[in-house]
Amino acid sequence: MRAPFLIIGAALLLAAAGDARPKTAGASLPAAIEASVTGCGTGWSHPHAGTQVLSLRNDGATAADVMLIDPATGAVFAEFEGMGPGVTRQARLALGGGTYVFRCGDDGGGDPVTGPPTRISGPPGGSAGVVPVTSEDLYAPAKSYTTYVSAGLDRLIARTKTLRKAVDGGDLDAARSAWTPAHVSYERLGAAYGTFGDFDGAINGGPAGLPKGVHDPDFTGFHRLEYGLWHGQSASSLRPVADRLDHDVHALKDDFPKERMDPADLPLRAHEILENTLQFQLTGHADQGSGTTLKTAAANIEGTREVLGVLRPVIRPRYARLPEIDTWLDRMDGLLKGRSSVEKLSTTEREGLNGAAGQLLELLAPVATIGEPRRTS
């Protein structure tokens, strides 16, 4: 079952899961609104403008996805996913004057049910609703990003060729110089990794989880070559590694036109690229000897910018904090400029990078939520 979440005013908030907790002495909970396909939206007593707590309960037999919407525009004010039978959840939000309805759908994929309209008197205002994104909205961004990836794969092939030729020629100093440009050209394509399938592991996988670690025969690609180049392995032992990497990169280029990038992946990838950066690059966990994880992090920031660039026409009218993301991306770029190794950072520098990454992740989370395609009828 999908994790429950709630949109209120274009912010991502966790919705309480499980059964309602018992009331404490003197506590007062609002009467529950029905959140099932059999009685969607009934029982909303005393609706009023202003800040309030709405309590929803699913008294049906199946799990339900529930949204509070403006029936005229489809704008979503609150959303709960995967409310199981017997579950009660609450939402605190501010509502302005207007007409609202609940829309409930089951996990079986049937048509959602729209509940009775509720009219609230008072001036407009309150939490801002978010007009749902459809799959059609994401078609053009996905097409643009596919074009970007295709061009990036050409650069990847050219730089990997330079790297392979240096290893094959026995010039390991030149290979070490060529490794980072080739590797970051792959990292800039971060939003497409789900489309790359097994190629991603072969080209950019690490040794974690392999039975023999860095000595495992299934440890291949950029990081295997990195390990050898910075741990004194000979050119003759690394030639098969470089040749395999070059072969896999060409195979990826040949395969990519046959694959379809799911447009729905793009908004989520905008968040996941930086999430992986914080986990693997800013900790130095991915480093296999080159000390270049901060250059990889900078490439991931560039990749995040590209994803946001193609999504901007969709996200801009739905998310007022998009300019803040640009500001924090600039700040991350400034903090990473001229730096390569996490190990050479001072404590203050490391805290600054981690803080900026954390702020960016907080700002990017609503992009993933708002950009998830939803049915509008």
CATH assignment of the domain containing 336: 1.20.1420.20
Number of domains comprising the chain: 2
- The answer to whether 339 touches 296, Cβ cutoff 8 Å, is no
- List the end-to-end C-alpha distance of the chain, in Å, as a whole number: 22
Could you tell me the CATH number of the domain that includes residue 11? 2.60.40
Domain match, 246 and 117 both: no
Domain match, 110 and 169 both: no
Domain match, 142 and 59 both: no
From CA 60, how far away is CA 102, in angstroms rounded? 15
Asked if the model's pLDDT at residue 197 lies above 60, the reply is yes
Instruction: Return the number of other C-beta atoms located less than 10 Å from residue 249's C-beta.
Output: 27
Give the pLDDT confidence score for residue 28 in this predicted structure: 57
Domain match, 168 and 294 both: yes
Structural domain includes residue 142 = yes
Give the pLDDT confidence score for residue 29 in this predicted structure: 59
For 105, the 3-state DSSP assignment is: strand
Q: 120-176: per-residue pLDDT in tens?
A: 998 888 888 999 999 999 999 999 999 999 999 999 999 999 999 999 999 999 999
Structural domain includes residue 233 = yes
Domain end: 86, 103, 131, which one? 131
Average of per-residue pLDDT across 272-295:
96
The two three-digit tokens of residue 83, written as one number: 């409310």
Per-residue buried b or exposed e for 147-160, using 16+ beta carbons within 10 Å of the residue's own CB: ebbeebbeebbebb
Domain end: 90, 110, 131, which one? 131
Structural domain includes residue 324 = yes
The two three-digit tokens of residue 338, written as one number: 């001229």
Structural domain includes residue 375 = no
Asked if the model's pLDDT at residue 30 lies above 80, the reply is no
Domain match, 330 and 236 both: yes
Structural domain includes residue 376 = no
Give the pLDDT confidence score for residue 15 in this predicted structure: 33
Structural domain includes residue 377 = no
Phi and psi at residue 200, to the nearest 5°:
-60, -45
The pLDDT-based confidence of 106 (bands split at 50, 70, 90) is: confident
The two three-digit tokens of residue 280, written as one number: 């693997």
Residue 151 CA to chain centroid, in angstroms? 23
Structural domain includes residue 15 = yes
Phi-psi region of 43 (alpha: psi -120 to 50; beta: other; left: phi over 0): left
Across the chain, mean pLDDT equals 90
Asked if the model's pLDDT at residue 108 lies above 80, the reply is no
Domain match, 198 and 239 both: yes
Give the β-pairing of 50-57 and 32-34: parallel
Asked if the model's pLDDT at residue 10 lies above 60, the reply is no
Domain match, 100 and 200 both: no
Domain match, 237 and 310 both: yes
Domain match, 233 and 324 both: yes
Q: What percent of the chain has pLDDT over 90?
A: 82
The two three-digit tokens of residue 371, written as one number: 């950009």
Structural domain includes residue 65 = yes
| Residue 119 structural domain | 6-131
Sheet strands side by side (includes 32-34):
32-34, 50-57, 88-95
Average of per-residue pLDDT across 329-342:
96
Domain match, 123 and 181 both: no
Q: 205-261: per-residue pLDDT in tens?
A: 999 999 999 999 999 999 999 999 999 999 999 999 999 999 999 999 999 999 988
| Non-local CB neighbours of 319 within 8 Å, separated by 6+ positions | 10, 130, 366, 367, 370
Domain match, 326 and 218 both: yes
From CA 353, how far away is CA 194, in angstroms rounded? 27
Instruction: Return the number of other C-beta atoms located less than 10 Å from residue 5's C-beta.
Output: 17
Domain end: 98, 131, 164, which one? 131
Domain match, 209 and 322 both: yes
